Amino acid sequence: MEFTTEPFELDTFPEHAATARKVVDEAGLDVAVGPFGTGAEGEAEQVLAAVTRLLRETLDAGATRISVQVSVLGEEGGTP
């Protein structure tokens, strides 16, 4: 999955962003932070549970917009 949370803040690391990172770390996903979003990979059930928790907890932490994209990858990291 890939996700971003908003609002973006240039001066600080917003609480909703820290919460999102905590959720994917605690889900046991492989995480890659990029300049325009964060990617996380894992088994389907891990990812689905993390998405649910990510949406709830980042909204509670002040996010006003959350963009999530979920892709299913084949065994070699490509599409099935």
Which residue matches tokens 């325009």? 36
CATH number of the domain to which 48 belongs: 3.30.70.930
**Residue 27 falls within a domain, yes or no?**
yes
Domain extent for 49:
2-69
**Residue 77 falls within a domain, yes or no?**
no
Residues in the chain: 80
pLDDT digits (tens, 9 = 90+) for 40-51: 999 999 999 999
pLDDT digits (tens, 9 = 90+) for 4-63: 999 987 788 899 999 999 999 999 999 998 878 899 999 999 999 999 999 999 999 999
In angstroms, the CA 20 to CA 38 distance is: 9
pTM of the entire structure? 0.82
Residue 48 phi, psi dihedral angles, 5° rounding: -60, -40
